[in-house]
Amino acid sequence: MENSTVTVIKEEKALSSVRVGQKAMISAIKSCPAELLHKLVSMGIVAGSEVTVTQRGFFGSPINIHLLGSVLSLRSAEAAHIQVQPL
Amino acid sequence: MTDITTTFDDNCPKSIALVGNPNCGKTTLFNGLTGSRYKVANYPGVTVERKEGSLSLPHGSCARIVDLPGTYALVGSSVDEKIVTQFLRGELAGNSKPDLIVAVVDATNLERNLFLISELIDTGYPIVLAINMMDAAERAGIKIYAELLSRALDLPVVPITARSKSGFPSLLQAITKALETPSPSSKRLGWIAQEHPLRRAIEDQSPLGPASSDPHIITTIGSLRYAWIRSVVRKTTSQSSNDDIPVVSPLDRLLTSRIWGLPIMLGIFGLIFQAIFLWAQLPMEIISGAVDSLSAWATSALPPGILTSLIAEGIIPGVGNVIVFVPQIAILFFCIGFLEDSGYLSRAAFLLDNFMRKVGLQGRAFIPLLSSFACAVPGILSTRSIPTRSDRLATIMIAPLMSCSARLPVYAVLIAAFIPPTLVGGFVSLQGLVLLGMYLLGVVGACVVAWALKKCLLWKESCFYVMEMPPLRKPILRIILRGVYDSVASFLKNATTIILACSIIVWFLASYPKPEAGYQGNPVQASYAGQLGTAIEPAIKPLGFNWEIGIAILSSFPAREVFVTTLSTIYNIGDDDDEHTGLVKTLQERNQSGLFSTLTALSLMVFYVFACMCMSTLAVCKRETDSWGWTLGMFGYMTALAYVASFAVFQVGSLILK
């Protein structure tokens, strides 16, 4: 990730690799089919939103995240499109 | 599928659309406003039917109100969500554009809910905003200043709690006012900063127009809308710190835990199947006793003749033997309703998604499939919440493999007659285990079929699973009981129409022509039904079925539960003595005399697990797939599967027993 700002920004990673209990801020949604993108955006998954990973299923999927006062459930394949910065 | 026709058309010229996110309590509000009875669920996407009612307003006027499916945005991808957009565009056949939108938001989840509102505002429709679940918000320490919110959004805003009907008078007043003096929402694109570089491109995006496919535009619009919403929410609400309340409750954590989640789920479903057999026993015995004495009374009280024979031997045992299953159906629906309203079903979908994905489905298919245990018709209807066509088709095709409540009478009679009521390990009933086995067999069959369908017939499409987990909450008894009442009522309606008709037809076919004088065999065998059964006997003999079972199977193609009716009619008529014994007893006697083996009973149950014997299922499949190919394909593959599986059970079983 190129970053020219002075403040140290933690490395970005995919939401799918964030461990349970970790808080993170969404920075971007990448290479995502338009239909899924519309869905994610409408549910509040936009750059700048804060999420906390609350639960994960077997083999890490589905992944539940707390966002805007409620819990969303998505598959790790979908969470892989979402870039976050751990807080 | 109840369609409330618009008989109020002349008196109620105005129409209102009820719009909101899934799970925001929209349907509860609809029920409260119209006083009608409908199903309320705690799972995103269950509201799929078009529901219209009449709303009486102050000053004696009224309006039509339509409950639209829950949606997060106007560019939704599922069938449900598209309906909302089409309705608001005025494109749905038979629906004109509404005069007013009543938008419902969940007070505890305001930011996400306001996203849809920000899109609705852009449509220019007059809107009244109802903030629902104010009681829950209060408990969570959220304060919403309706006045301020109303000014920020430039809309009438009314706080309500739909579950306890509080705030309804103010809402009705606001609706009346908005209908009398409509003020189109005028804040179009109020969320775009004047100087935004993409302003032109964004302004070209109409909320009811075609959805953009440019990722940059989609994310920019989303971010802008949410930024605007955040600023509105910050100005109009306050939240006392609630750090002591965990985001995920300990109970929720336990139910979805990797170690305990699945065992608990299996335990819950196991308990339900045990309950269906153990708790329902007493009421069933009472009903069946009453049916027997009614039938005996009819025989003795009415003058002998054709009519008496029809009533005492055809109608009473025919309908009675189906009504007997009301207690079991009531218990099953009570359990499903409890799990649905408490929010547990979404946890089950979470636990099962991995597994469902392996067979090519998604966690969301779990709800239609679980509903199909009750009845495939609502199950198939609820597949509308699955956004991808291939997933949806695969789910529809396997839904009837889930053992529905109509199969329960068949299993119940055969299990009661042929499986000894012993307890395995001291507390698990063997009968309950066999029943669970039949249900599991259907599930396994469904997995194989789904996997094969996705592999061979259905093209690979991108599919996704993104859903909101409703909070776990104490289910409301009233809502569960309403669901139980609805299903029992529709079951009884079936029993008094299709099954009554079938019992009369079967009675006629089994009674005529009367055998000639001096005929030695069973009089039924000489009848039309007997001739028909005998004709197909060679085809079903390898499955272990004789001509009597053949008749029962043929007659139950319109509806499975007719099987029980037919068997009791045949045996009642065939009985030489006038004593009316219960069907179970008759079957046990036949078992002892070697006429009906336990292996045949097992083979028969397996046949019923797989066979597609339900007119309503085929009708709804045709309606939902809009294709005769898929409908006939469903009938064909299920019948073939039933034949092959039954054949295997009987032949392999015979070999082992040798």
Q: What is the pLDDT of residues B354-369, one digit of tens each?
A: 888 878 787 778 777 8
Judged by CB atoms closer than 8 Å, whether chains meet at A55 and B116 is answered as: no
| Residue of B115, B351, B467 with shortest CB distance to A42 | B115
Is residue A71 in a domain?
A: yes
Q: Which of B111, B115, B353 sits opposite A69 (nearest CB)?
A: B111
Q: Is residue A2 part of a domain?
A: no
Q: Which of B184-193, B249-258, B381-390 has the lowest mean pLDDT?
A: B184-193
* Cβ(B564)–Cβ(B584) below 8 Å: no
Structural domains of chain B, with CATH: 15-239 (3.40.50.300)
Q: How far apart are CA B571 and CA B552, in angstroms?
A: 11
Q: Which residue has the higher pLDDT, B620 or B115?
A: B115
Determine the distance from the C-alpha atom of residue B498 to the mean position of all C-alpha atoms in its chain, rounded to a whole number. 20
CA distance A37 to chain B (A): 7
Spell out which residues of chain A touch residue B351, defining contact as CB-CB under 8 Å.
Answer: 57
CA–CA gap between residue B611 and residue B161 (Å, rounded): 46
User: What percentage of chain B carries pLDDT values higher than 70?
Assistant: 86
Cβ proximity of B44 and A71 under 8 Å = no
Q: What is the pLDDT of residues A12-50, one digit of tens each?
A: 899 999 999 999 999 999 888 888 899 899 999 999 999
Domain that holds residue A65: 13-86
B84-98, B261-275, B461-475: lowest mean pLDDT where? B461-475
Residue A32 counted as domain residue: yes
The whole-angstrom separation of Cα B122 and Cα B192 is 12
State the Cα–Cα distance between residues B478 and A10, nearest whole angstrom.
51
pLDDT at residue B410 above 80? Answer: yes
Is any Cβ of chain B less than 8 angstroms from the Cβ of A20? Answer: no
Structural domain total, chain A: 1
List Cα–Cα distances, B70 to B74, B576, B605, in angstroms: 11, 60, 39
Q: What does the block give as tokens for A7?
A: 């403040």
B247·A49 Cβ contact <8 A? no
Q: Is the pLDDT of residue B474 over 80?
A: yes
Cβ atoms of B319 and B565 closer than 8 Å: yes
Backbone region of residue B134 per phi and psi (left: phi > 0; alpha: psi in -120 to 50; beta: other values) = alpha
Does some domain include residue A31? Answer: yes
Q: What is the interface pTM, i.e. ipTM, of the complex?
A: 0.88
The CA-to-CA distance between both ends of chain B, in Å, stands at 51
How far, CA to CA in Å, does B502 sit from each of A48, B417, B510? 64, 24, 12
Residue A42 domain-assigned (yes or no): yes
List pLDDT tens digits, range B273-322. Answer: 777 767 877 888 888 788 888 888 888 888 888 888 888 877 887 777 66
B21 vs chain A: nearest CA distance in angstroms?
10
Q: Look up residue A70 and give its two tokens.
A: 């409620």
Closest chain A CA to residue B354: A61
Residue A26 lies in a domain: yes
Return the HEC string of B58-112.
HHHCEEEEEECCCCCCCCCCCHHHHHHHHHHHCCCCCCCCCCEEEEEEEHHHHHH
- Residue B93 confidence (pLDDT): 67
Query: pLDDT-based confidence at B560, cuts 50/70/90?
Result: confident
How far does the CA of residue A79 sit from the closest CA of chain B (Å)? 10
**What is the chain A residue with the closest CA to B463?**
A36
Cβ contact B226–A36 (<8 Å): no
CB B215 to CB A54 under 8 A? no
Going B403 to B408 to B410 to B412, the CA torsion angle's sign is positive
In a domain, A8, yes or no: no
One-letter amino acid at B236 equals T
Instruction: Give B427-492 as a 3 state SS string.
Output: CEEHHHHHHHHHHHHHHHHHHHHHHHHHHHHCCCCCCCCEEEECCCCCCCHHHHHHHHHHHHHHHH
Q: Which DSSP string corresponds to B222-266? A: HHHHHHHHHHHHHHHEEE---TTS-SS-HHHHHHT-TTTHHHHHH
Residue B42 has pLDDT above 50, yes or no: no
**A55 bridge partner residues:** A64
Q: Which chain B residues contact residue A29 at CB under 8 A?
A: 215, 219
Q: What is the CATH number of the domain that holds A63?
A: 2.30.30.90
Element (H, E) at A56: strand A50-56
Q: Is A71 on the interface with B (CB under 8 A)?
A: yes
Query: Does residue A43 belong to the interface with chain B, where contact is any CB pair within 8 Å?
Result: yes
Is A1 within the bounds of a domain? Answer: no
What is d(CA B385, CA B78) in angstroms, rounded to the nearest whole number? Answer: 6
Confidence of residue B603 (pLDDT cuts 50, 70, 90): very high
Residues B475 and B341: beta-carbon distance below 8 Å: yes
Alpha-carbon gap, residue B130 to B29, rounded angstroms = 10
Determine contact: A74 vs chain B, CB below 8 A: yes
Residue B47 pLDDT exceeds 60: no
Contact B211 A37 (CB under 8 A): no
Q: Residues B118-126: what's their mean pLDDT?
A: 89
- Residues of chain A with Cβ-Cβ distance to B223 below 8 Å are 46-48
State how far the Cα of B396 lies from the Cα of B421, in Å rounded to an integer.
36
